[in-house]
Amino acid sequence: MGKNRTMSICLSDIPKDRILKHDNGKMYLPVSTYDLNEPDRFGNDFSVSIQLSKEEIERKKAGEDIKRVFIGNGKIWPDVEHTKPATAAETEDLPF
């Protein structure tokens, strides 16, 4: 079972030129997450930033100082099992 993540994203920090419009007319923002080694002072386990473009990745590889646009952070919550399969004894009285 996967891990549940909750996050908060600051919409006012998103540069409009980074929003991509798909052929279907929907708008997307490619994001990346980075898991922290230790929770920060607010208990966040990961950060959220705008994904670097191919051009930015190449410039970074060439040694240019490229800064990520940080837009949020979040927490990883432990898995919680809310249901479990019923036993045969628990279902024997069901009318179907």
- What confidence score (pLDDT) does residue 88 get? 83
Question: Does the pTM exceed 0.75?
Answer: no
Q: Are 18 and 52 in contact (CB under 8 A)?
A: no
Give the mean model confidence (pLDDT) for residues 51-67. Answer: 95
Phi/psi of residue 56, each to 5°? -65, -40
Q: If we measure between CA atoms, which residue out of 64, 67, 35 comes closest to residue 50?
A: 67
Amino acid identity for residue 73 in this structure: N
Please give the mean pLDDT across all residues of the chain. Answer: 89
pLDDT at residue 4 in the model = 86
Cβ atoms within 10 A of the Cβ of 71, count?
A: 21
